Chains A and B, each alone.
Chain A
Amino acid sequence: MSIIDIACEESRTRGDARVIAVHLKIGRMSGVVSEALLSAFELAREDTLLAAAELKIEDMPVRVHCPQCGCEQLADSIQCLCCSVCGTLSPEITQGCELEVVAMELEPMEVV
């Protein structure tokens, strides 16, 4: 699972720090379901530097650039990519496809 790979590599470059939490951004159009991801992570993190880590997921709703309003607006839903303010169909998605690790909380290992 690549969240683990990303986090382990990051931790290693910082002197094998213990990972306390991994912050993720998951867009509603990314096709990833947070619940499924969380349960997969539970299994995959065992015996890694992330054994005690927590996933902190930021749910990213879909935003579009609305040509009518001339600015970024929240979309109605993923089924209807229209501006939630004026109803104009706005195909230019500006947010909601994210699937990324944005930050990590690290704790240095005890120095013996």
Chain B
Amino acid sequence: MSNHSAANPTRLVQVRTKILKQNDVAARRLRQRFRDHNVFVVSLVSSPGSGKTMFLEQTLASMRQRGHRVAALVGDLATENDAARLARAEVPVRQITTGTVCHLEAEMVENALDGWTLEELDYLFIENVGNLVCPATYDLGESLRLVLFSTTEGEDKPLKYPTIFNTADIAVITKMDLAEVVEFDAVTAHKHIHAVRPGMDILEVSAKSGTQMERWFHRLETQRNASMTDPT
């Protein structure tokens, strides 16, 4: 095929194709694998010190007690070790040491799964490195993404990190037992969350909150059931 025109050899052609980043390709692969084995995958992102590890610890222990097969992957910078703490929940936990990388990537998750039999899992929880910026653009193949922040971090957290709130499905406000002491304004916090992500589901939890955690476990169960019957 040669439509060579000496007068105007250069042609401009319209393409309009979305670029897939390397991570997106790995994330697609992961998502398919999780789906094939009916593993419901939840990722958690937050700033350091938000109470994410405690929330996850409670979730792992309770979900195990409810008869589910659960496991966790924990992204830690070289200096941290949340995995050891999570092992107290008596479920399989693996650490992904990211070194100086401030977020998890899909390929790190793939490598960490090596040797695990996905058929033996109902739920996999992935705790990301404490950071609200970089994880936003890295799909990990998860079905549900939680963004957590504590009452001590203030109501404007969503406005400071709109991108991560935009990519997440549920906002979890932790340390509600401290709300009064730090004069946390829950109404304003909800308003900010819904400003960056309309209709976003919000959980308010504390070390001793029972009802909201029950609602969370129930949601996990119904959503996993729904995803298993969903033909797409």
Interface residues of A (CB under 8 A from B): 1-3, 6, 10, 14-15, 17, 20, 24, 29-32, 78-81, 89, 91-93, 99-108, 111
Asked whether A106 lies within 8 Å of B21 as measured between CB atoms, the reply is no
With a CB–CB cut-off of 8 A, which chain B residues contact A30? Answer: 137
Closest beta carbon of chain A to B133's beta carbon, Å: 9
B interface size (C-beta, 8 A): 32
With a CB–CB cut-off of 8 A, which chain A residues contact B25? Answer: 2
Asked whether A101 lies within 8 Å of B2 as measured between CB atoms, the reply is no
Closest beta carbon of chain B to A36's beta carbon, Å: 11
Proximity string of chain B (1-34) to chain A, C-beta cutoff 8 Å, 1 when within and 0 when not: 1111000011111111111111001000000000
With a CB–CB cut-off of 8 A, which chain A residues contact B19? Answer: 2-3, 6, 24, 99-101
With a CB–CB cut-off of 8 A, which chain B residues contact A105? Answer: 10-13
Return the 4 tightest CB-CB contacts between A and B, nearest first: A31-B137, A89-B195, A15-B1, A99-B19
Asked whether B195 lies within 8 Å of A2 as measured between CB atoms, the reply is no
With a CB–CB cut-off of 8 A, which chain B residues contact A89? Answer: 159, 192, 195-196
Closest beta carbon of chain B to A4's beta carbon, Å: 10
Which of B13, B136, B192 meets A106, CB within 8 Å?
B13
